[in-house]
């Protein structure tokens, strides 16, 4: 079945450093979503990418969808302590209501 892997599983950075998490699917995706889960919280939708090669920015966050629509990345510039949490990509399975979540990347930011 479809699998969605994320690397790294964990990342510790100093405040002000950049951070990137990568998401890889075993199949071609119709679109990809990114969610953030703060410690003790619930996943919250960040963004959706649909087109091949698409790049979207939200302040210090840059999201990219691969040309082959099988991978995606989230890059955070100059991390802040408020960026702490687990970042998930999610791949809605085409033609179904099923969302497969990636394995997640847990980010810790050291002040």
Instruction: Tell me if 24 contacts another protein by CB under 8 A.
Output: no
Instruction: Tell me if 50 contacts another protein by CB under 8 A.
Output: yes
Q: Least CB distance from residue 10 to another protein, whole Å?
A: 10
Structure tokens belonging to residue 51: 């087109």
- How many residues belong to the site for another protein (CB under 8 A)? 28
Nearby residues of 47 by Cβ (< 8 Å), 6 or more positions away:
33, 34, 56, 58, 61, 63
Contact of 21 with 87, CB cutoff 8 Å: yes
Choose the binding region for another protein from 11-19, 51-59, 68-76, 84-92 (rule: CB under 8 A): 84-92
Q: Is 81 helix (H, G, I), strand (E, B) or coil?
A: helix
**What phi and psi values does residue 83 have, to the nearest 5 degrees?**
-85, -5
Instruction: Tell me if 45 contacts another protein by CB under 8 A.
Output: yes
Q: Enumerate binding residues for another protein (CB under 8 A).
A: 30-31, 33, 35, 37, 41-45, 48, 50, 86, 88, 90, 92-101, 103-104, 106
């Amino acid at each position: 079945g479809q699998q969605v892997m994320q690397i790294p599983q964990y990342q510790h950075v100093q405040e002000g450093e950049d951070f990137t998490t990568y998401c890889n699917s075993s199949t071609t995706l119709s679109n990809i979503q990114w969610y953030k889960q703060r410690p003790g919280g619930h996943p919250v939708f960040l963004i959706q990418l649909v087109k091949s090669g698409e790049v979207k920015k939200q302040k210090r966050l840059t999201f990219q969808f691969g040309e082959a629509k099988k991978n995606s990345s989230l890059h955070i510039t100059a991390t802040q302590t408020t960026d702490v949490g687990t970042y998930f990509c999610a791949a809605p399975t085409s033609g179904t209501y099923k969302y497969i979540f990636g394995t997640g990347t847990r980010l810790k930011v050291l002040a």
